[in-house]
Structure 1
Amino acid sequence: MIRPMIIDISEWQHPNQINYPLLAKQIDHVIVRVQYGSAHCDKFYQTHLRRFQELGVPKAVYAWVRGTNHADMAQEARIFFERAKIFQPTFYWLDVEEQSMSDMRGGVEVFRQTLKQLSGKKVGVYVAHHLYRSFNLAVENFDALWLPSYGSNSGSYHGIKPTVNQNYDLHQYTSKGRLPGYNGFLDFNRLADRKPFIFFTDRPQDSTAWGMAEKGSFSLKTAIHLRTAPTIHAQSLAILRAGQTIDYDAFAHEQGYVWIRQKRADGTYGYLATGPSDGQKRTAPSWGVFY
């Protein structure tokens, strides 16, 4: 699992199907849809925002843009702000996935300017990958750019990146993610390392938050690198030999393997691959024994 774990949700995720306290433990930031155009208010946005607020999860909001002219775009921005402001979101996003007027570049800019003046907050834009070039939005005027690119859309990140613009800040890499606390699919997003987590949430990421908390021991059956991050491309801290046992405090299915995390004497963490994974479950026996 990539951290920080950022999900975006809407009325398609029904509150009755969400265990909010459990889901909140798995995520670092949530982006909630408020409206689909000004005429359709998301049925559950207030419930989503209120529950995650109670649980201390940093929250942002987004609106699907459907304005039909410049005046309508400004009105959509005003309605979006009025619906969301009570929840004091850390970030406002425009979701541009539909050609609702001929001058999308000018219309979306009107939406941005109006929302920025009303909220005084950071305003970002999400643009559908296949419409990015034809819309030709003034993305440089926004505080951040959010792009989708799924690849095989397996629920995990496998290195696929957006290609329409290399200067993006948030990457939606799957629409089929799964987390404890919700049985359906979720959109997963990752930072692109251009801006820190605090830029989007007004608070630093909890450096201890990673994977699923679980304490145990693992005895190796073969030599495995202990690494500085849960990827085979990370620096090797040591090669642990067969027969050695380490204690761990969390695990995650990430980058093609099941990783465990070891807290080291200096307060840093080491990560050990324990066998192959498809992102959700093991695909072969582990390379050791768990206790």
Structure 2
Amino acid sequence: MIRPMIIDISEWQRPDQIDYPLLAQQIDHVIIRVQYGSAYCDKFYQTHLQRFQELGVPTAVYAWVRGINHEDMAQEARIFFERAKIFRPSFYWLDVEEQSMTDMRGGVEVFRQTLKQLSGGKIGVYIAHHLYRSFNLAVENFDALWLPSYGNNSGSYHGVQPTVNKNYDLHQYTSNGRLSGYSGTLDLNRLTDRKPLNFFTNKIQDFAAWGIAETGSFTLQTAVYLRTAPTVHAKSIALLQAGQTIYYDAFSHEQGHVWIRQKRADGTYGYLATGPSDGKKRTAPSWGRFN
């Protein structure tokens, strides 16, 4: 399972169908819909926010944007802020998935500016992949960019990435995700290596919670990159050579590989892929020997 695990939910995920304590154990951040335009308030956003905050899960909020002119966009921003402010969300997101006015670039910028003035918080934008180029939003003005790209939408991440802009910070990689604590499907998201989790949560990540704790050593039989995060897209720390041994304190099946974690002298962690995985078990022999 990818960690940090970030989900986004709305009223489609009913509270009476969620085991909040169990689901909370598997996620690091949740983004909750507050409204669909200014006229429609999400039925369960308050319950979702209260329950996850009680369980210590950092919470952000999003609004589906539907303003029909600049003034309407500003009004949507004001209503969004008023509905969410009591929960002190760690991040605000604008969800732009429909053309509600001709000047979407200008309208969304008015929404962003109004919300920024009211909240003083960080604001990101989610843009439908097929509308990205035609909307031509001023993404450079936002604090973060969130893009969807599903591939075969199997529920797991298999390396498919958004193509409309390479400089994105959050990737929604499936709408068919499954996690214990909820029997239905979930939108699952992964971070890129551009911003750490605490940029979005205002909370220092608990690295000790990653993966499954296990101590041991691994001797490589081929050269493999040691990386800053458990993904092949993360920055390389070093290229370890065949015959080298790495000591690890945890492992996890995620992003197509079995990863082990090395605690480094400066207090940070390095992550090494040890062979392919389907997310639950190895699908081929490991690239070395466990000792």
TM tier, shorter chain?
Answer: 0.7 to 0.9
Name the structure 2 match of 1:143: 143
Bigger CA drift: 273-282 or 77-86?
273-282
Name the structure 1 match of 2:199: 199
Work out the number of aligned pairs and report it: 285
Bigger CA drift: 193-202 or 38-47?
193-202
In structure 1, distance between residues paired with 2:270 and 2:88: 37
Give the superposition deviation at 1:45: 0.8
Give the superposition deviation at 1:271: 6.3
Pick closer, same or farther for the CA change 1:256–1:208 going to 2, 3 Å.
same
| Matched-pair identity in % | 78
In structure 1, distance between residues paired with 2:185 and 2:24: 16
Give the superposition deviation at 1:272: 7.3
Name the structure 2 match of 1:41: 41
In structure 1, distance between residues paired with 2:281 and 2:214: 19
CA RMSD of aligned residues (A): 3.3
What does residue range 70-219 of structure 1 map to in structure 2 within 5 Å? 70-211=70-211, 213=212
In structure 2, distance between residues paired with 1:27 and 1:225: 32
Bigger CA drift: 145-154 or 91-100?
145-154
Is the contact between residue 35 and residue 80 of structure 1 (CA under 8 Å) also seen in structure 2? yes
Bigger CA drift: 191-200 or 70-79?
191-200
Name the structure 2 match of 1:22: 22
DSSP 3-state at the match of 1:208: helix
DSSP 3-state at the match of 2:16: helix
Q: Deviations over 1:11-33 (max 9, x none)?
A: 11111222211211211111111
Give the superposition deviation at 1:253: 2.6
Is the contact between residue 60 and residue 92 of structure 1 (CA under 8 Å) also seen in structure 2? yes
Name the structure 2 match of 1:58: 58
- Code of the aligned partner of 2:149: S
In structure 2, distance between residues paired with 1:70 and 1:148: 26
Bigger CA drift: 19-28 or 261-270?
261-270
Structure 2 residue runs without a partner (length 5+): none
Give the superposition deviation at 1:185: 1.7
Is the contact between residue 226 and residue 270 of structure 1 (CA under 8 Å) also seen in structure 2? no
- Code of the aligned partner of 2:60: A
Is the contact between residue 23 and residue 180 of structure 1 (CA under 8 Å) also seen in structure 2? yes
Give the superposition deviation at 1:77: 0.8
Pick closer, same or farther for the CA change 1:166–1:100 going to 2, 3 Å.
same
Bigger CA drift: 114-123 or 229-238?
229-238
DSSP 3-state at the match of 1:188: strand
Bigger CA drift: 231-240 or 273-282?
231-240
Bigger CA drift: 126-135 or 197-206?
197-206
Is the contact between residue 214 and residue 251 of structure 2 (CA under 8 Å) also seen in structure 1? no
Name the structure 2 match of 1:31: 31
Is the contact between residue 96 and residue 127 of structure 1 (CA under 8 Å) also seen in structure 2? yes
Is the contact between residue 105 and residue 136 of structure 1 (CA under 8 Å) also seen in structure 2? yes
- Code of the aligned partner of 1:47: T
Pick closer, same or farther for the CA change 1:177–1:25 going to 2, 3 Å.
same
TM-score, with structure 1 as normaliser: 0.82
In structure 2, distance between residues paired with 1:130 and 1:182: 29
Pick closer, same or farther for the CA change 1:150–1:206 going to 2, 3 Å.
same
DSSP 3-state at the match of 2:52: helix
In structure 1, distance between residues paired with 2:262 and 2:178: 24
DSSP 3-state at the match of 1:26: coil
Pick closer, same or farther for the CA change 1:284–1:192 going to 2, 3 Å.
closer
Give the superposition deviation at 1:116: 0.9
Is the contact between residue 92 and residue 121 of structure 1 (CA under 8 Å) also seen in structure 2? yes
Is the contact between residue 214 and residue 248 of structure 1 (CA under 8 Å) also seen in structure 2? no
Pick closer, same or farther for the CA change 1:251–1:196 going to 2, 3 Å.
closer
- Code of the aligned partner of 2:32: V
- Code of the aligned partner of 1:166: K
Give the superposition deviation at 1:228: 4.4
